[in-house]
Amino acid sequence: MRTLTIAAVASFVCAGAALAQTTKPAEKPRSAASLECSKQASEKGLHGKARRSFRSKCIKDMKSKS
């Protein structure tokens, strides 16, 4: 009985480890506007909320120009 319990626990541990190894979802390629705005944000030294805000406005402006 003890061997059966140990085997059951071992199988659950192995199954859990196998399920935990998931692949990363495929990322969409970044647009030219996104890359350019990221470059500009980096040149300005922006980080965090300021960077997100800048990139959002920059991308919106670039799309409206097109």
Please write the tens of the pLDDT for every residue from 25-49: 778 888 999 999 999 999 999 999 9
Does 9 score more than 80 pLDDT? no
Does 12 score more than 70 pLDDT? no
pTM above 0.75, yes or no: no
Number of residues that this document lists for the chain: 66
Distance CA 62, CA 32 (A): 10
Distance CA 27, CA 46 (A): 24
Cβ 11 vs Cβ 28: under 8 Å: no
Residue 45: predicted pLDDT = 97
User: 3 versus 46: which is more confidently predicted?
Assistant: 46
